């Protein structure tokens, strides 16, 4: 059962990345679902309460940081909530690694989009609504892509995954 919950969490991160890519929005049910899945996984894995408390503290810190970035219009509200949900899963032991990885992914993604946006939009891309929107010169960067992919890279090394698959 724990393994199924962990796979579902990965699916939620993928879905968060995909919805942000396609719609530039991350629905609230994605970070809420990730929080619920974390609680269920923690119970099923027998996570000690002190460890769960530290994970919650990282989540709250990430939420405050994300809210500050949102206030300065540096990220979207959905990105801030997805970052907080990821912090819940990463905990203090893996949050720095997660931040480094999603920053690298996000930077590479942003550079690729900037380069692609400087080139003329091919007619075939203009007919695909997602590509047309994504490649517009003034479009934003759907950072949920980096947040979701970064989680997929780091989750296998977290306590819950190691406990389940050891």
What are the domain boundaries of the chain?
A: 2-165
Cβ–Cβ < 8 Å for 140, 99: no
Give the pLDDT confidence score for residue 127 in this predicted structure: 86
Give the pLDDT confidence score for residue 37 in this predicted structure: 98
Give the pLDDT confidence score for residue 136 in this predicted structure: 87
Give the residue carrying structure tokens 């047309």: 132
The residue length of the chain stands at 166
Give the pLDDT confidence score for residue 19 in this predicted structure: 97
Give the pLDDT confidence score for residue 24 in this predicted structure: 95
- 53: closest CA among 68, 38, 31? 38
Give the pLDDT confidence score for residue 124 in this predicted structure: 82
Q: Taking all residues of the chain, what is their mean pLDDT, rounded to a whole number? A: 95
Region of residue 91 (left: phi > 0; alpha: psi -120 to 50; beta: else): left
> Which residues, given as ranges, of the chain have pLDDT below 70?
none
- 32: closest CA among 48, 20, 53, 16? 16
Please give the backbone phi and psi of residue 34, each rounded to the nearest 5 degrees, phi first. -65, -40
């Amino acid at each position: 059962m724990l393994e199924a919950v962990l796979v579902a969490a990965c699916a939620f991160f993928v879905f968060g990345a995909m919805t942000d890519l396609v719609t530039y929005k991350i629905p609230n049910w994605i970070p809420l679902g990730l929080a619920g899945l974390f609680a269920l996984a923690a119970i099923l894995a027998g996570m000690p309460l002190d460890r769960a408390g530290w994970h919650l503290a990282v989540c709250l810190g990430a939420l405050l940081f994300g809210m500050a970035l949102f206030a300065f219009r540096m990220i979207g509200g959905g990105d801030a909530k997805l970052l907080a949900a990821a912090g819940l899963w990463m905990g203090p032991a893996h949050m720095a690694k997660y931040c480094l990885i999603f920053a690298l992914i996000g930077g590479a993604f942003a550079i690729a989009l900037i380069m692609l946006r400087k080139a003329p939009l091919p007619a075939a891309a203009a007919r695909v609504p997602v590509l047309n929107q994504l490649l517009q010169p003034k479009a934003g960067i759907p950072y949920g892509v980096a947040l979701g992919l970064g989680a997929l890279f780091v989750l296998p090394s977290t306590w819950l995954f190691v406990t389940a698959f050891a």
